[in-house]
Amino acid sequence: MKPLRYRWLALIAAVALAAGGVVSGLWPDLRRVVFTVPWPTLALSTLLAVVCLVLAWRVRAYIKDPRRRPINAVFASRIAVLAQTCAVYGAILFGWAGGVLLYDLSLLRFRSGTENLFLTLANVGVGVGVCIAGCVAETWCKRPPEGPEDPKDSGDAAERRPRRNEFPEGEGGYARNRGR
């Protein structure tokens, strides 16, 4: 699994920001009903971010001290996927609600205010929080490099060629040494 790239999150948020602003401007009557996430869903989104952080903290604790209670590798990878999903969901929620908020703020000089302004602000805040929680949780699920001599280890040992002193001394070790 590839690590999450923050520029992709920024691109996702920017596209959602533009889409939220354009769509809320095209259908202003439906905007109140469809284009903001309601309070219960925001509460569940916050709960999802907290659960993701708690589970990632458990994986982080095992990575720092492997002698602790072992963790299943599939479980750890699922938590990393959950963290990436939270980050992308938070970027989309932030961008969409940001676009709706910008449209609402552009209309404040023509009308007194909207009843959904606080809900839209809450959408933006929860989107930022869930995105940050997903990014933090994903960094907690990363394994450190294997060896202290290679800090830029990509984690894929199959692509790395063994050095001469890394050959085993067992059967065939003599044949390799004789060829020098």
- Domain spans in the chain, listed from the N-terminal domain onward: 38-143
Say what the pLDDT of residue 135 is.
Answer: 94
Say what the pLDDT of residue 161 is.
Answer: 55
Q: Which of 39, 22, 40 is nearest to 31 (CA)?
A: 22
CA atoms of 57 and 54, how far apart (whole Å): 5
Asked if 6 and 91 count as a contact pair (C-beta separation under 8 A), the reply is no
Which band of pLDDT confidence, cut at 50, 70 and 90, is reported for residue 178? low
Is pLDDT larger for residue 170 or for residue 54? Answer: 54
Residue 91 clears pLDDT 70, i.e. is over it: yes
Cα R_g (the chain), whole angstroms: 24
Tens-place pLDDT, residues 122-166: 999 999 999 999 999 999 888 766 655 545 545 555 555 555 555
Q: Which of 110, 108, 116, 112 is nearest to 31 (CA)?
A: 116
Which segment of 18-22, 71-75, 143-147 scores lowest on mean pLDDT? 143-147
Say what the pLDDT of residue 87 is.
Answer: 95
Which band of pLDDT confidence, cut at 50, 70 and 90, is reported for residue 177? low
Residue 62 clears pLDDT 70, i.e. is over it: yes
Q: CB neighbours (10 Å) of residue 51?
A: 15
What's the CA angle centered on 148, arms 145 and 152, to 5 degrees? 50
SS3 for 105-172 is HHCCCCCCCCCCHHHHHHHHHHHHHHHHHHHHHHHHCCCCCCCCCCCCCCCCCCCCCCCHHHCCCCCC
